[in-house]
Amino acid sequence: MGLPADTNRRVMEDWHLAIALTIAWDADWDDYDRSLLDHRLEIPENAPKEHRLRLETYNHKYIRFSVLQKRVLEDKLPSPSMFGKAGPEGWRKTQYTDVRILCLRPPAAKGLPLRMLHNVFRQFTLNLHKPLPKGSATADSATRVAATLCAEMGKAFDNETQRSETFDTCFFPLFSDGDRWKFEHLVKVKHSALPVLVKLVNEPYGEDVHRLLARHHFAPSLYGYARYEGAPCAYIMEYLQSLTWTTLYNFSRGNASNKDKRAIRRSLQHLVGILEDNQVVHGDLRPVNIMLQVDDERKLVRSKGRKSTAKIRVVDFDWAGKAGEVLYPVLRNQDIDWPGNSDGPIEGGHNRQLVKSWFYEAFSLPFDTVPPKNADLEDRRHT
């Protein structure tokens, strides 16, 4: 091939050097090293068609690599989770595009080193030759979980729910009971080990609203959080055990007495009033996000007295915050009659509007109507 062959041989050597620098993730890239990402094979016009196509394929593959590495060097690499936000079909479609490597699910579980996918992964480089710290009894289990996750991450998923459930299953070996995250896995306490729930959050979380409702016993206790730069924030909160708590959605599908319905309404009215008085919003007060305490027979636990109330805990504060400042997500369930627009502000009155939209259908009672004076007689007839 003459001169082009010699030139292309040098280009291939440059490519090998660029890839070696990429694998050695802590290498410093000078101007010359960066220029290697722009080197391309020459394609002689008089070369056989098959030979030209092969060279074009090689160039195309290297261009895809060089574009990714440039993003790494410029610190502009997007988070893999961003590719799940491209609409209802985002998960499926993205995995068959040229940027699928950034989605952490390349075909056949093959692709560039994990640390190239996003800067956050560089924070977890581990020197395996160093002794593990004290209290690392679960290190073997964690290694197995990591291996399982790596295998699963290479697969394509139809939707985010399927992906999340698969990854959750991978984590089960880390926890002794398989489905409960226990307090001793996070911190040590002097007197007891409390069952807790750990919520990992990448987006903003309505911590202030959560704490406000927890002070009024309308949300699980929030024990604390762990936040590290480049990693999800872990919120540690009270675990509502399924034996004594159920969602309002599940409870509403049973045969609730009139006393139960009114007790739930009183508690919800108090809850919404607290939010309105403090000019904050939850944003997603649907029955699936409201927990009710029940007894061994799955009956509602009510306070004593003529105007009894239900014990309620609200969960999922991902949208919560100051009224008029926090926004609804762009993507949300279109079957719900939401008070506001997608990507629009969550206003102070939206808490009440949303509860009113489903309460009557669930309990055949208007949410804002004050119970009549003879409500107790009616309760006794239906209890």
The tens digit of pLDDT for each residue in 237-291 reads: 888 888 899 999 989 988 889 999 999 999 999 999 999 999 999 999 999 999 9
Neighbours of 141 (CB within 10 A): 13
Dig out the tokens for 192 from the structure.
């007891």
Per the CB < 8 A criterion, the answer to whether 153 and 106 are in contact is no
pLDDT level of residue 310 (50, 70, 90 thresholds) = very high
pLDDT of residue 285: 95
Q: How far is CA 375 from CA 149, 220, 226, 266, 379, in A?
A: 56, 31, 48, 13, 6
pLDDT of residue 76: 53
Q: What number is the average pLDDT over the span 182-206?
A: 60
What region does 223 belong to: left with phi over 0, alpha with psi -120 to 50, or beta?
alpha
Helix, strand, or coil (residue 258): helix
Residues 6+ apart with CB under 8 A from 306: 376
The yes-or-no verdict on residue 49 having pLDDT over 80 is: yes
pLDDT level of residue 145 (50, 70, 90 thresholds) = confident
DSSP state of 255: -
Per the CB < 8 A criterion, the answer to whether 344 and 354 are in contact is no
Dig out the tokens for 50 from the structure.
């098959």
% of the chain exceeding 70 in pLDDT: 67
The yes-or-no verdict on residue 67 having pLDDT over 70 is: yes
Q: What is the spatial distance between Cα 119 and Cα 367, in angstroms, rounded to a whole number?
A: 49
Q: DSSP alpha helices (H): ranges in 24-104?
A: 31-35, 49-73, 90-94
Choose between 223 and 117: higher pLDDT: 223
pLDDT level of residue 180 (50, 70, 90 thresholds) = very low
Q: What is the spatial distance between Cα 272 and Cα 349, in angstroms, rounded to a whole number?
A: 9
Per the CB < 8 A criterion, the answer to whether 25 and 115 are in contact is yes
Q: Comparing C-alpha atoms, which of 112, 107, 172, 104 is closest to residue 141?
A: 172
pLDDT of residue 90: 53
Neighbours of 155 (CB within 10 A): 14
CA 134 distance to own-chain centroid: 30
Per the CB < 8 A criterion, the answer to whether 88 and 335 are in contact is no
Q: DSSP alpha helices (H): ranges in the chain?
A: 3-23, 31-35, 49-73, 90-94, 114-117, 139-153, 160-171, 207-215, 248-252, 258-277, 350-363, 375-382
% of the chain exceeding 90 in pLDDT: 35
Neighbours of 181 (CB within 10 A): 17
pLDDT level of residue 127 (50, 70, 90 thresholds) = very low
DSSP state of 322: E
pLDDT level of residue 22 (50, 70, 90 thresholds) = confident
Per the CB < 8 A criterion, the answer to whether 223 and 196 are in contact is yes
Highest-pLDDT range among 147-151, 162-166, 232-236: 232-236
The tens digit of pLDDT for each residue in 212-227 reads: 999 999 999 998 887 7
Residues 6+ apart with CB under 8 A from 290: 247, 248, 249, 268, 312, 313, 314, 315
DSSP state of 13: H
pLDDT of residue 243: 87
Identify the sign of the CA torsion 175, 176, 177, 182: negative
Class of domain 245-363: mainly alpha
Highest-pLDDT range among 13-27, 151-165, 230-244, 304-318: 304-318
DSSP string, 221-254: -EEEEE--TTS-EEEEEE---TTTEEEHHHHHTS
